[in-house]
Chain A
Amino acid sequence: AQTVTQSQPEMSVQEAETVTLSCTYDTSENNYYLFWYKQPPSRQMILVIRQEAYKQQNATENRFSVNFQKAAKSFSLKISDSQLGDTAMYFCAFMNTGNQFYFGTGTSLTVIP
């Protein structure tokens, strides 16, 4: 079974600064997808960004970007120009060729004004 590890249970960042959330995963598969989800306090979990394993180029969505290192099985999320609305729990997720999703334990991010 695949495992997803988020080693930072809690993080904080000053407003307008940059923060990086780490995620590593364990798999023997060569093809898969990776996702970052955001869950604001008492609100719905939403997709932030996704990455195909066969693409070397790192995905970017506005202020959110990833650093995908396939050989190291690492998939970190960088948030630039942090905003108060970025305060949330962030989950890293791995999807295998069987369409099974595996989630990490989450990182609670607080943006400080």
Chain B
Amino acid sequence: DVKVTQSSRYLVKRTGEKVFLECVQDMDHENMFWYRQDPGLGLRLIYFSYDVKMKEKGDIPEGYSVSREKKERFSLILESASTNQTSMYLCASRAGLGFSNQPQHFGDGTRLSIL
């Protein structure tokens, strides 16, 4: 089975702090994704990456950046945390670059609170 591991289940930070959320997958997947999940809004894509050192903006990239130095690891960075970034953050990975029925595989999520 695919294993997508997020470094923290719960995280509490203060406004203005730089926050790092880490995600590691063990299946050599090319694609990795960061979403935030808010009640009534579903999942919204922040950033994704289809290769090492490659990144693409999703629907809501403002206030975030990402890093993918190794294939298995995809980090989400909140440059200066704000209270409106309090949310559940989900990491996902997906195999292959072509158009196929490969699904996304998700981590357990990180519930981030910014005080």
Contacts and interface: CB of A to CB of B under 8 A. Distances in A.
A complexed with B? yes
A52 B101 contact: yes
Nearest to A105: B42
Nearest to B4: A44
Interface stretch (A70-78, A80-88, A95-103): A95-103
How many interface residues does chain A have, given as a range? Answer: 20 to 34
A31 B100 CA distance: 11
Interface in A12-30: none
A101 B45 contact: yes
B43 A99 contact: no
A97 B99 CA distance: 6
Nearest to B58: A100
Given A9-B40, A99-B31, A50 B97 contact: no
Contacts of A50: 101, 103
Nearest to A51: B101
Interface string A26-56: 0000010101010000011111001010000
A-B pairs with lowest CB-CB distance, top 9? A105-B42, A45-B106, A103-B43, A47-B103, A103-B42, A44-B108, A97-B99, A33-B101, A106-B42
